[in-house]
């Protein structure tokens, strides 16, 4: 078990998934590291593809007592038996999502680099707020969440915070004292060996 003060891993799926190739890699990662939550983050809007992927991942995650949330698709949470939703529009739809899903579902909100949006999302009922990317240039705006934002948040706000987007070992080491979760996705899935890539990042948490 990780230390209570050690950030947990929040795993993001690739935006395109071939289940026959992805599931062995996915299982290997879950065997190697303790993961708190998985986000299904497909780029497609094809409901059949989303459903097939969600069904396959739900079987794996729920067998391991890992929460599975979906990016954006609020209406699919109940239908697919998922644990909640990750919203990409800051605080704007948090209150609606909470009303739709009830008090027990996970509702998370990505707030870019905006302290104000993060606070508003927390006040609206978000279970966690995520900030990122951590590396400039990954968004069209060029904005990046700076270390100071996470340091301030950890001191002033009780809502759990996720750091995601453009992580590397140095960023993980710097932010580890201030975040509750690291949202890790492309950083490992683009590697030849995701298990090794994740292990290299997790090594900097301690």
CA distance 21 to 77: 25
Count of residues in the chain: 206
Q: Which CATH number fits domain 8-205: 3.40.50.620, 1.10.10.60, 3.20.20.70, 3.30.2140.20?
A: 3.20.20.70
pLDDT per residue over 89-131, tens digit each? 999 999 999 999 999 999 999 999 999 999 999 999 999 999 9
pLDDT at 2: 45
- Exposed/middle/buried for residue 43 (C-beta within 10 Å: 0-12, 13-18, 19+): exposed
Cα 26 to Cα 3, 155, 189, distances in angstroms: 24, 34, 9
pLDDT at 205: 82
Q: Could you tell me what percent of the chain has a pLDDT over 90?
A: 92
pLDDT at 5: 79
pLDDT per residue over 17-37, tens digit each? 999 999 999 999 999 999 999
pLDDT at 34: 96
Q: What pTM, to 2 d.p., does this model score?
A: 0.94
pLDDT per residue over 187-204, tens digit each? 999 999 999 999 999 998
pLDDT at 136: 76
pLDDT at 1: 34
CA distance 144 to 158: 22
The domain segmentation of the chain, as residue ranges, is 8-205
pLDDT per residue over 136-172, tens digit each? 765 445 579 999 999 999 999 999 999 999 999 999 9
pLDDT per residue over 37-80, tens digit each? 999 999 999 999 999 999 999 999 999 999 999 999 999 999 99
- Beta bridge partner(s), residue 131: 163
- What does the block give as tokens for 115? 């302290």
How would you classify the pairing of strands 35-40 and 84-87? unpaired
């Amino acid at each position: 078990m990780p230390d209570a003060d050690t950030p947990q891993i929040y795993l993001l799926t690739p935006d395109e998934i071939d289940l026959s190739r992805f599931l062995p890699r996915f299982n290997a990662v879950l065997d190697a590291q303790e993961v708190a939550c998985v986000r299904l983050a497909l780029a497609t809007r094809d409901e059949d593809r989303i459903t097939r992927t969600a069904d396959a991942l739900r079987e794996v995650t729920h067998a391991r007592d890992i929460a599975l949330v979906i990016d954006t698709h609020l209406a699919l949470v109940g239908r697919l038996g998922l644990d909640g939703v990750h919203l990409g529009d800051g605080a704007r739809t948090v209150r609606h999502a909470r009303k739709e899903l009830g008090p027990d579902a996970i509702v998370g909100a990505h707030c870019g680099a905006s302290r104000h949006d993060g606070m508003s999302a927390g006040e609206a009922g978000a279970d966690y707020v995520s900030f990122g990317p951590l590396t400039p240039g990954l968004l069209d705006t060029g904005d990046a969440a700076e270390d100071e934002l996470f340091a301030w948040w950890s001191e002033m706000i009780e809502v759990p915070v996720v750091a995601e987007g453009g992580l590397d070992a140095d960023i993980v080491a710097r932010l580890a004292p201030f975040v509750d979760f690291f949202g890790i996705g492309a950083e490992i899935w683009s590697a030849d060996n995701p298990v090794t890539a994740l292990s290299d990042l997790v090594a900097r948490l301690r």
